[in-house]
Amino acid sequence: MSASEVRPPVWAIAGVVAAVAAIPLAYVVIRGAGAGSETWSGLLDERIPELLIGTLGLAAVVCAGTLVLGTGLAYLLVHTDLPGRRVLLALSALPLAIPPYVGAITYADVLGPRGGLRDLLGVEELPSIFGFAGAALVLTLFTYPYVLLFAAAALRNLNPSYEEAARGLGKGRLAVMVGTTARLIAPALAGGTLLVGLYVLSDFGAVSLMRFDTFTTVIYAELGGQFDPPGAAALSTVLIVLTLLFLAAGLRVRGGGAFVQTDAGFRRESVHELGRARVPALLAVVAVLVLALALPLARLVTWTVDVLGEQDLGEFAGWAQNSLLVSALAASIAVGAALPVAIVLARRRGGRRRAGVLVGWLAQAGYALPGVIVALALVALATRWLDPLYNTLFLLVAAFVIRFLPQAIQGQEAGLQQIGANLSEAARGLGASRAGAFWRVVVPLLAPSALAAWVVVFLTAAKELPATLILRPLGFDTLPVRIWTPARDGLYADAGPAALLLVLVAIVPLYVLLARRRGVVPGLT
Amino acid sequence: MSLSLEAVSKSFGPARAVAGVSLAVERGELFAVLGPSGCGKTTLLRLIAGFERPDAGSVTVGERVVSSPGAFLGPERRRIGMVFQDYALFPHLTVRRNVAFGLPRADRPRTMSTLELVGLQHKADRYPHELSGGERQRVALARALAPGPAVVLLDEPFSSLDAALRADIRRDVELILREAGTTAVLVTHDQEEALSLADRLAVMREGRLVQVGAPEDVYARPADRWAAQFVGEVNVIRGMSRAGGVETRLGTFDVARATGLSGAVHVAVRPEQLDLRVDRSGNAEITQREFRGHDVLYRLRHETGGTVLVQLPSVELFEVGERVFVGPRRAAVVSLVD
């Protein structure tokens, strides 16, 4: 046994965490498989093919859109001499702070049948925003930062010598861009795009408000009133399989295709001069920022100004407080539960490597579970076996923890990997006990990563919609609930104040995280 | 005795990293373990430190058995100071707090006196990333020395330094260790480092110690052909053992150990144990000359076809293509390596 190996108690806790995290997944798949041939054949005849085409079509269009937007922006803002590119890059990542369902509300209003654009153009009627086109537009505008962050990090880490070597071998600038640069950052682009795809599969709020049916909306509707309908479980099983396929593809691209670049230590900036293309390039960037950031924010602000007088501020503070409470609880528990798993993952080697991989996979089952499905599983489990827990905060927090455990694990695993095992050994060689070495060396060094992971989980939990809708105790309203409820009935303006608060609360920590970590926040992307 | 190992073995899966190593290091001695990468020398060090648990054998530090088949003392209780290859300085602590890490709280005088020993008292409040490579090295050494360990272990201590600095820093480290009077074991793959620094050294290969001795003995009288080749350049020449020495195609050599071997043997002849003179009817021709400043290494083609290495002071130079006579330098004593 080596001194730096993971101790049995840590293994045991990690195993328990992994088992608990995997329960909803196991439950849904078992229920789905046992849904009966009648349910299945009924669904397979019509519902499933239709949903597959709709959901996958939406995912494909949004992936393509975000790939173009994200890569284009990253290229212009990292790799060229565009004026103000540092500020613009930071701004370009901020739409991440606007939940797509909030974005959907603003677009449903602006482009809707009684919207501002119609008034502006002075026409009778606009083509309807609702349906596939609207869902694709909104999801693209508010998820492209995933691709942007991946692409920007890859471009920044790109060793300029490769491009210079290609130029030196007689390739023109365009040929280098396509043949060398794009090839080198391709794994990162694929990674970011697949995250977008995963998000589209799990999204509930934006597609609902855009009135486009995907798996999540249909599962949610099936759930209405009933506790454990077999149809919902069957559809969930299909969605989980889809998600796992996306995940597997993502792992393949990010793991197998990742290039190892020789590190030269200091990196020169490699900047392409835009020349006369500067002005159009700048206009393009500004246009994206207007559509994805300025316009929705402006709409939220005007709504807030309009309705704030009518709002009961005490009630409003209560919703914010509830959001804060569940998100903080979820973040704290998730970060705590993730630590043993992260330790197992970061320090796995030798004989128990496989066991470590298994623990890692199970603990990150939340990745494959859209919020609707986690909620469905927990409701069913609670009503069957743990009735006292039903209609309590416990279920909601548990759903958040399971769903966002992967973020907490990844953030801390990345942090642990930067703490070499020999730092603990050095501490022990100097007379510190195992626990002493952990407290005096690992904890202070891990703290920034753990804090970042906490913030990421907090922010994600604060804006989570479907699980909140299904699992919240009666009368327990959070900001997302108070955004959703009026918006579902088309009263967009009434959703304004809560939406604005939610966005503002997210923007500040997001900006700080992105600025301090130069856009690389494990778990966020 | 400051450190001793008795038949220590350690395997990782099917790979035997350390195979039955026994070793004794005297108090105050500077001992080197020299071997190629993958020979098990770092594992040996980690077994002594207590970072790995041996499969068999025992380790004694000072008077205390720290590892034996029935008992195993954790690294924190062994009174060992370890200097890691990458130094493993705590990045969140200042130099002062790194050095004080292994000391009881508030042992300020000891911290400062150790920092003075390594000449870094003026950098006490810097963080590791603000130091040069050589300074980090000295902080790592100070941190290991501060608690007054029975033995200091150094894992490839100079490998991450610039070649230009290495010799100077090596000298500094030796002086610090000597001044502190500590027993030290260092592992390295650099024969020059081991030969110049150590009081005694062990040559390690595939988990075993091939030879243990003073640097001059190991160099002049290698235990076998592999050790001869690993520790410096060498000509391995076939010859016949006779009463007056070993007769070879380069002449007759005196042999170090009377082994009683007779008949066909091999001897290890260091390049500086040979001599050259220009001779039109000589037995070899110079094919290559490598000028090294204070001396020159010549590569010769012998008339029988083999290559011979000869090293001479650079006071007199021979030209490539010259015909020469090569033979034993006077008083050259070589060793059998069969």
Tell whether the model's pLDDT for residue A520 goes beyond 60.
no
pLDDT of amino acid A256: 42
Lowest-confidence pick of A170-174, A493-497, B45-49, B121-125: A170-174
Q: Residue B55: list chain A partners with CB under 8 A.
A: none
Tell whether the model's pLDDT for residue A519 goes beyond 90.
no
Of how many residues is chain A composed?
525
pLDDT: which is higher, A137 or A37: A137
Mean pLDDT on A329-355:
84
Q: Distances in Å between the alpha carbon of A377 and those of A35, A197, A229?
A: 14, 23, 11
Closest Cα of chain B to A340: distance in Å? 21
pLDDT of amino acid A263: 42
Residues in chain B with pLDDT values less than 70: 1, 106, 257-262, 338
| Cα–chain center distance at B201 | 6
Tell whether the model's pLDDT for residue A348 goes beyond 70.
no
Tell whether the model's pLDDT for residue A136 goes beyond 80.
yes
φ/ψ of residue B125, rounded to 5 = -100, 10
Q: Residue B144: list chain A partners with CB under 8 A.
A: 429-430
Q: Say whether residue B213 is in contact with chain A using an 8 A CB cutoff.
A: no
Mean pLDDT on A489-518:
83
Give the tens place of pLDDT for each residue, A245-267. 888 887 776 554 344 444 444 45
pLDDT of amino acid B94: 93
Tell whether the model's pLDDT for residue A177 goes beyond 90.
no
Closest Cα of chain B to A252: distance in Å? 29
pLDDT of amino acid A144: 92
Give the tens place of pLDDT for each residue, A364-423. 888 788 888 888 888 888 888 887 777 788 899 999 999 999 888 888 888 888 887 788
Residue of chain A nearest B80, judged by CA positions: A429
Task: Please state, in angstroms and rounded to a whole number, the distance separating the CA atoms of residues A338 and A36.
Answer: 36
Q: Residue A2: list chain B partners with CB under 8 A.
A: 46, 51-53
Confidence (pTM): 0.81
Mutation for A interface: B18, B52, B76, most A CBs within 10 A: B76
pLDDT of amino acid A521: 55
pLDDT: which is higher, A521 or B50: B50
The number of beta carbons lying within 10 Å of the beta carbon of residue B251 is: 18
The number of beta carbons lying within 10 Å of the beta carbon of residue B304 is: 10
Rounded to the nearest integer, the mean pLDDT of chain A is 83
Whose tokens are 């496989």? That residue is A354
- Inter-chain CB proximity A441 and B90 less than 8 Å: yes
Give the tens place of pLDDT for each residue, B21-80. 999 999 999 999 999 988 999 999 999 999 899 999 999 998 899 999 888 988 888 889
Mean pLDDT on A437-463:
89
Residue of chain A nearest B83, judged by CA positions: A426
Task: Please state, in angstroms and rounded to a whole number, the distance separating the CA atoms of residues B57 and A520.
Answer: 48
pLDDT of amino acid A401: 94
pLDDT of amino acid B301: 93
**Closest by alpha carbon to B30, among B148, B189, B197?**
B197
Mean pLDDT on A39-68:
87
Please, what is the Cα angle at A370 between A365 and A376, to 5 degrees?
A: 95
Enumerate chain A positions whose Cβ falls within 8 A of a Cβ in B.
Answer: 1-4, 350, 420, 422-423, 425-434, 436, 440-441, 444-445
Q: Residue B75: list chain A partners with CB under 8 A.
A: 3, 425, 428-429
Q: Residue A425: list chain B partners with CB under 8 A.
A: 49, 51, 75, 82, 84, 88
Mean pLDDT on A504-508:
86
Closest Cα of chain B to A241: distance in Å? 38
pLDDT of amino acid A329: 95
Which residues neighbour A36 within 8 Å (Cβ) at sequence distance 6 or greater? A230
pLDDT: which is higher, B101 or A348: B101
Assess: ipTM above 0.85: no
Q: Distances in Å between the alpha carbon of A215 and those of A41, A62, A371?
A: 17, 16, 12
Mean pLDDT on A327-353:
85
Which residues neighbour A201 within 8 Å (Cβ) at sequence distance 6 or greater? A55, A59, A214, A215, A216, A239, A242, A243, A246, A370
Please, what is the Cα angle at A74 between A68 and A76, to 5 degrees?
A: 100
Residue of chain A nearest B77, judged by CA positions: A431
Which residues neighbour B15 within 8 Å (Cβ) at sequence distance 6 or greater? none
Q: Residue A447: list chain B partners with CB under 8 A.
A: none
- Inter-chain CB proximity B90 and A427 less than 8 Å: yes
- Inter-chain CB proximity B82 and A425 less than 8 Å: yes
Structure tokens of A515? Answer: 């600025």
- Inter-chain CB proximity A440 and B101 less than 8 Å: yes
Give the tens place of pLDDT for each residue, A78-91. 888 888 888 888 88
Count of H-run helices and E-run strands, chain B: 8, 21
Tell whether the model's pLDDT for residue A352 goes beyond 80.
no
- Inter-chain CB proximity B101 and A430 less than 8 Å: yes
The number of beta carbons lying within 10 Å of the beta carbon of residue B212 is: 18
Q: What percent of chain A has pLDDT over 90?
A: 22
Radius of gyration of chain A (CA): 24
**Burial letters B280-294, b for 16+ CB under 10 A, else e:** eebbbebeeeeeeee
- Inter-chain CB proximity A430 and B90 less than 8 Å: no
